Structure 1
């Protein structure tokens, strides 16, 4: 019973359960029998010719394996191509075996076929990748000879097969050190090394080579695959970047301007020695950026908060660690790349040396003017003394002669010249006195109204109308109220006098305030007699006056000195018969910092 099970199973089941495609073909090339896998792969086969089923042909194949096996009874194996039942192109391996009859003839041939389409596609992709990969690829045997190389390798280093790898890459007869392929053969691990090779055109190529072992599954490493990447451009770029970085670092570190950079989280990325010196904050204490943020102007805080993109301040202040206010020229900018925030940077120039030079220049000019003025003062005092002598003589002679009229005349001469000496000395002391403005936050319009109130009666008696043309909402400014008061009273007094001396003998004097392009402006305009070219040229020189004995010639010099102490300038515009305008221009960024709190008044 059991002896019949196996033959029956082999006859009925084994044919169907074999995973290969099996077909039995007669001498007319008709398929007379096929298993389920064959039908599943190629479709309905009953009564069909094999060439029709396999290849959709109407005639037998030119190199038909079955035909040759029918002829000589030998087994054969061959790679074939065809179409499956869906019409898709397929690769398969066909093996033919004869089925002999008892008389030795071969009425049938059995064909076994295996679908290798997937493996063929993998192999095709492998070949494409191997040849087209954008790096150098070669396979080495244990003698370090190239058995295969891809297209890029051959194009760069020439024909490689059969040559040693060190000859291919470096035109050398000895092995490289270190040799990643040799190490891979020795320990079966992946190794990487960097080398310089020589292309067929003589170019030096810097490349990184990675060697990986290849085995047949028996732990015997028969070959090594080397993949090399040309990093010449990368290394060149790295070198250039290193040079650029070194140059940038040198420029930053040796800059006399302070440079501080923050990342997008507000942490310090860069703080150069100049910034440490100006802010009196060593880099170790500045780490994190919290301390430094409070040292910078409010405009830069807006950049840090993302509310502004940049700021340019001709003159501002940073607050050092010891709370000293340092005058600086300040620039801030948000750092961005492709729309992404990288942080922000501050650049600031310490203006203390410049301000010191300006002060020294002003002091030198002042002392030079004082020297010139002393000479003029001596001459003026001499004239006054002579007048006093005349007055004393008239007084003595009047007393001796009991001539009251002569006494009064002599005494009048003495009084007038005494007042002149007093005014002369006061003006000289005011002009020659070297000092820093004692500034406080002052409302410019209120200062003007005080001066107008002071001269209201004088102007009324002189038949001059005072007009205040004041810009509304003018912001307070750090000014020396006493100094600017002196400037305005000098200019207003001169304007009233010029109006009285005009042909009409009356007119308007206007005091204006305004702000333009960050510059605070005071203007005093009259409708007086005006000035010609020679007068305008001499108006700011020592002891020049158009008032004769009524002036000392120091008023405008003092006014100009006070304006310069505020970082500004005084400009004159005058035409004969049209009047005169004196304009005081005070750029806000050059105004000195407040030295005291504003008064309650």
Structure 2
């Protein structure tokens, strides 16, 4: 009878009509019949046991569901894993049903299976994604209990599945206000919000949560999935940036120096109170780019036009809103992000008080020196008067005695002392009076040429060679030509005297101009007698001279004063018996501006 049932199944179209992999198994686990779908999926089956056909095994499976159906006659549905016709792992769902005789005895078992390998792979990938995604993922029910949570969530908030979400996330005892999950349960829509939770270690965690309904078409939403992105580090960076911004804003606002910044379109983006006060703008007013072109020095405007990185002016002039000149120390910078220019900034230090103090200091030094000079004049004038009295006596006695030689000699003494007093008065007045340099744009090398022409005859008569070493690439400079001429004549006159007094062979004086690090340098060197230590220490003191009665002692003091009026300095080197070198150094950034040229430049900016 059993064989008849199997034969009937084989000959009928029942098995072929089943839209799954179908097979009939007897009590000895032999596959006695199967449809073509089964053979296409698992391969040849005839003469095989079910465990060999399904899984390629040599012995029955442990906990065999087919055996259980033979025992109790119940239907079963199981997930199985076997090998397909190509030897690949296959996942399938098998429906097991008994085939009974009239007495209810189970003769065979019908196994119908369908492939779920792709679904299993999807499920596996889903689980990997769910667990490994770098976000917090939870599934909560309508009681706001967490029924599933991913690995990232468990690492941060702990193994608290089955607890309320507000307890796990925030250590709260009741539901959160404005809960996005509650909104999703209510309207079935997706909702997002920023939240702050407490980690299992007690630290604050900032995250952005998005809630979405999990439904299979039911009318009531049973579950909601929450996906949260941790933004704690971003929040910390935001807070740090806010702190830095507030700190920098306070620095800019409270800086004593004026700060003005513009973007690449010339719009003022920073204009602190010190800059407003310095430039004379009301609380809400800002200078336009046209104002900046008019008010700021040309070097700063050139930095903006030429896209230079910086501009540093130790001394410069800006105009306030009313057009009044203000001396400042200006530092300009091109603001960049990598290679992209963001804008330009100017830092302005008001040096009006400093300039006034410098002027007062120079005046005080000058007046102090004048006082010392006046007190020292008595001795010098006394000597000159004695010379005049001696000369007058010789002239009178020569005239009375009709002694022409004596008269001539006495007249010579008078002329000599007249020259002394004239030189003394001129030097004293030049040193004592305060003066504003008459600054012009001149060729520095031309000054040297003029001095060479002036002293060439005197030098030739003394057998001294004058040499000019000039920088042909030297640009014009803003100088007072009369003042610098006085400085150079004093130095050359001293050098001539030093060469004459040394009695060296081949005496020479070298006058040179050059520029080093944006500093204009005039240099006068000689190979004369030089100076010892004591003379060098007294060189710039009042009334000191190495020329005996032939000098006033005011020449170098006058020279230093004129150099300082130009923002420069004087230094020297000297070695006894070998000669001396004097240098006048003028940083171009500190040179006074020619008034005509400055005004012309500002008119052009307008």
Partner of 1:79: 79
After superposition, the Cα gap between the structure-2 partners of 1:546 and 1:148, relative to the gap in structure 1 and judged at 3 Å, is: closer
Between 533-542 and 284-293, report the one with greater CA deviation.
284-293
Between 184-193 and 261-270, report the one with greater CA deviation.
261-270
Q: Is 1:431 the equivalent of 2:431?
A: yes
Q: Residues of 2 paired with 1:28 and 1:300: CA distance?
A: 101
After superposition, the Cα gap between the structure-2 partners of 1:289 and 1:52, relative to the gap in structure 1 and judged at 3 Å, is: farther
Aligned length: 584
Alignment of 1:475-494 (within 5 A): 475-494=475-494
Q: Residues of 2 paired with 1:290 and 1:396: CA distance?
A: 76
Q: Deviations over 1:27-50 (max 9, x none)?
A: 554445444543443334455443
Partner of 1:541: 541
Alignment of 1:141-180 (within 5 A): 141-180=141-180
After superposition, the Cα gap between the structure-2 partners of 1:262 and 1:81, relative to the gap in structure 1 and judged at 3 Å, is: farther
SS of the residue corresponding to residue 531 of structure 2 reads coil
Partner of 1:22: 22
Between 465-474 and 297-306, report the one with greater CA deviation.
297-306
Partner of 1:593: 593
Partner of 1:366: 366
After superposition, the Cα gap between the structure-2 partners of 1:13 and 1:341, relative to the gap in structure 1 and judged at 3 Å, is: farther
Partner of 1:222: 222
SS of the residue corresponding to residue 186 of structure 2 reads helix
Q: 1:89: Cα distance to partner?
A: 1.6
Q: Is 1:335 the equivalent of 2:353?
A: no
Contact (CA 8 Å) 1:262, 1:270: kept in 2 or not? yes
Partner of 1:3: none
Q: Residues of 2 paired with 1:124 and 1:597: CA distance?
A: 83
Q: Deviations over 1:188-207 (max 9, x none)?
A: 33344555544444444444
Partner of 2:576: 576
Q: Residues of 1 paired with 2:364 and 2:520: CA distance?
A: 27
Q: Is 1:92 the equivalent of 2:92?
A: yes
After superposition, the Cα gap between the structure-2 partners of 1:152 and 1:575, relative to the gap in structure 1 and judged at 3 Å, is: closer
Between 562-571 and 120-129, report the one with greater CA deviation.
120-129
Q: Residues of 2 paired with 1:352 and 1:311: CA distance?
A: 20
Q: 1:453: Cα distance to partner?
A: 0.5
Q: Is 1:497 the equivalent of 2:494?
A: no
Between 51-60 and 314-323, report the one with greater CA deviation.
314-323
After superposition, the Cα gap between the structure-2 partners of 1:18 and 1:378, relative to the gap in structure 1 and judged at 3 Å, is: farther
Q: 1:513: Cα distance to partner?
A: 2.4
Q: Residues of 2 paired with 1:553 and 1:230: CA distance?
A: 82
Q: 1:247: Cα distance to partner?
A: 0.9
Q: Deviations over 1:264-283 (max 9, x none)?
A: 78766545444556667889
Contact (CA 8 Å) 2:398, 2:407: kept in 1 or not? yes
After superposition, the Cα gap between the structure-2 partners of 1:574 and 1:154, relative to the gap in structure 1 and judged at 3 Å, is: closer
Alignment of 1:219-298 (within 5 A): 219-260=219-260, 270-275=270-275, 285=286, 295=296
Q: Residues of 2 paired with 1:14 and 1:317: CA distance?
A: 106
Between 532-541 and 318-327, report the one with greater CA deviation.
318-327
Q: Residues of 2 paired with 1:112 and 1:136: CA distance?
A: 41
Contact (CA 8 Å) 2:318, 2:326: kept in 1 or not? yes
Between 537-546 and 324-333, report the one with greater CA deviation.
324-333
Q: 1:109: Cα distance to partner?
A: 3.1
SS of the residue corresponding to residue 482 of structure 1 reads helix
Q: Deviations over 1:485-534 (max 9, x none)?
A: 11111111222222223335972222222333333222222333333333
Alignment of 1:102-141 (within 5 A): 106-141=106-141
Q: Residues of 2 paired with 1:510 and 1:305: CA distance?
A: 40
After superposition, the Cα gap between the structure-2 partners of 1:351 and 1:386, relative to the gap in structure 1 and judged at 3 Å, is: farther
Partner of 2:529: 529
Q: Residues of 2 paired with 1:287 and 1:118: CA distance?
A: 69
Q: Deviations over 1:162-199 (max 9, x none)?
A: 43333334444333323333333233333445555444
Q: Residues of 1 paired with 2:306 and 2:396: CA distance?
A: 83
Q: 1:80: Cα distance to partner?
A: 1.2
Unaligned 5+ segments in structure 1 are 1-10
Contact (CA 8 Å) 2:258, 2:276: kept in 1 or not? yes
Q: 1:290: Cα distance to partner?
A: 10
Between 454-463 and 143-152, report the one with greater CA deviation.
143-152
Contact (CA 8 Å) 1:258, 1:274: kept in 2 or not? yes
Between 417-426 and 31-40, report the one with greater CA deviation.
31-40
Contact (CA 8 Å) 1:195, 1:207: kept in 2 or not? yes
TM-score scaled to structure 2, two decimals? 0.82
Q: Residues of 2 paired with 1:51 and 1:290: CA distance?
A: 94
Partner of 1:6: none
Contact (CA 8 Å) 1:542, 1:557: kept in 2 or not? yes
Partner of 2:351: 352
Contact (CA 8 Å) 1:264, 1:341: kept in 2 or not? no
Q: Residues of 2 paired with 1:329 and 1:220: CA distance?
A: 72
Q: Residues of 2 paired with 1:97 and 1:287: CA distance?
A: 91
TM-score scaled to structure 1, two decimals? 0.83
Q: 1:451: Cα distance to partner?
A: 0.7
Partner of 1:5: none
Unaligned 5+ segments in structure 2 are 1-10, 599-606
Q: Residues of 1 paired with 2:295 and 2:120: CA distance?
A: 71
Alignment of 1:284-323 (within 5 A): 285=286, 295=296, 310-311=309-310, 313=312, 315=314, 317=316, 320=319
Q: Residues of 1 paired with 2:582 and 2:77: CA distance?
A: 114
Partner of 1:562: 562
SS of the residue corresponding to residue 501 of structure 1 reads helix
Q: Residues of 1 paired with 2:50 and 2:263: CA distance?
A: 75
After superposition, the Cα gap between the structure-2 partners of 1:74 and 1:533, relative to the gap in structure 1 and judged at 3 Å, is: closer
Q: Residues of 1 paired with 2:105 and 2:597: CA distance?
A: 128
Partner of 2:69: 69
Between 385-394 and 94-103, report the one with greater CA deviation.
385-394
Q: Deviations over 1:85-141 (max 9, x none)?
A: 232222211112233456755544322212222332333333334344444433332
Contact (CA 8 Å) 1:540, 1:557: kept in 2 or not? yes
Q: 1:539: Cα distance to partner?
A: 2.6
